[in-house]
Structures are given as C-alpha cells and as structure tokens.
C-alpha cells in the first residue's frame, strides 16, 4: 500500500471514531426523562415539555363557515361613498361569519398556520380571547401541541359556560 492510501484510510477512521464518540456522549449526557419527552413530540424547541389543549376544550371553541363577500355589492357600495362601503362590508362579514370579521385586522383571508387562502365553505375555528380564526383542522392540530394562538401567542382561555358568563 502506498502512503497516500494509508493516510486517507486513517483520516476516514479517525473521522468515524470522533463522530461515533460525539454521538454516544451526547446521548449519554441527556437524561432518560428528556429522551422520553423528545419521543412524545412535546414542544422541546423552548427547552420545556408543554402540553397543549385537550379535545374537550377544543370542541368548546366556536366554529364558523367562511363565505367571501359578494363582489357585485362591493361595486354598488363604492358609488354610495367610502363610509357606507366600510360599514356595509363589516356588517356583511359579521353576518356571514367570515375570517376577516373574526380577525382584529379585518383584512385577512388566509390561514396563518397552513398559509392557504380560505375557500368558500371552509370550516374555521375562532379563538375566544383574541378572535383570530384559522382552518379548524390546522388550529386544532396546533393547539394540541402548543396552547397559544399561532398569531399573537395569547393563551386562549377555555370557553366559558353560560353560568360563568352571568356572574
């Protein structure tokens, strides 16, 4: 064998040995409880295992069906004046239960979780405290892992019962 082949083989062997040692040392330093948290898929990006919301709480949050405003009525309102248009749009959106009415900005028609535009008939879930709305499936999956709003990071409180509202 030539010196070059021996040198390359020794370099590769040293690299493999260093990589294996680093891997095993890092796994050994991690406690068993940390490994089980990693396996369960908890929110370890923040260095803590944070449990999300349970199904009963998610089911208590309101859902609505997205319906975009009619385009013909928008043009008619433009003729009647800017103020009438803004008031009419807000009323139509609230009556139709759109995501735009459910969002504080009032101008969004896109799910912040999946980044897809809302389509007519999409089922949305609205978070009770911040009034942000998302595709039901997207936000349910998000809230099962992280108990915060995907947009403002507010912790949504459980939906209150009618008895609690009367107090």
- At 15-72, the pLDDT tens digits run 999 999 998 888 776 655 555 444 444 444 454 555 778 888 888 889 999 988 776 5
Question: Tokens in use for 29?
Answer: 């330093």
Q: Any idea which of 79-88, 99-108, 156-165 has the lowest mean pLDDT?
A: 99-108
Kindly report whether the global pTM for this prediction surpasses the value 0.95: no
Angle between helices 82-96 and 71-80 (to 10 degrees): 150
H helices, E strands: number in the chain: 8, 3
Can you tell me the distance from the alpha carbon of 135 to that of 118, in angstroms, rounded to the nearest whole number?
8
The pair phi, psi for residue 48, each rounded to 5°, is -145, 150
Measured CA distances, 141 to 54, 130, 137, 150 (Å): 11, 18, 6, 11
């Amino acid at each position: 064998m030539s010196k070059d082949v021996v040198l390359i083989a020794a370099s590769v062997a040293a690299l493999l040995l260093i990589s294996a040692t680093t891997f095993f040392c890092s796994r050994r330093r991690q406690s068993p409880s940390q490994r089980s948290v990693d396996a369960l898929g908890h929110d370890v990006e923040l260095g803590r295992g944070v449990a999300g919301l349970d199904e009963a709480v998610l089911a208590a949050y309101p859902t609505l069906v997205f319906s975009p405003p009619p385009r013909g009525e928008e043009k008619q309102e433009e003729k009647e004046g800017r103020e009438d248009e803004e008031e009419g749009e807000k009323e139509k959106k609230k009556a139709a239960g759109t995501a735009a009415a459910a969002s504080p900005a009032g101008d969004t028609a896109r799910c912040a979780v999946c980044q897809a535009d809302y389509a007519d008939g999409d089922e949305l879930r609205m978070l009770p405290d911040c009034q942000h709305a998302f595709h039901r499936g997207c936000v349910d999956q998000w809230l099962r892992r992280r108990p915060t709003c995907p947009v403002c990071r507010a912790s949504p409180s459980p939906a209150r019962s009618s008895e609690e509202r009367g107090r």
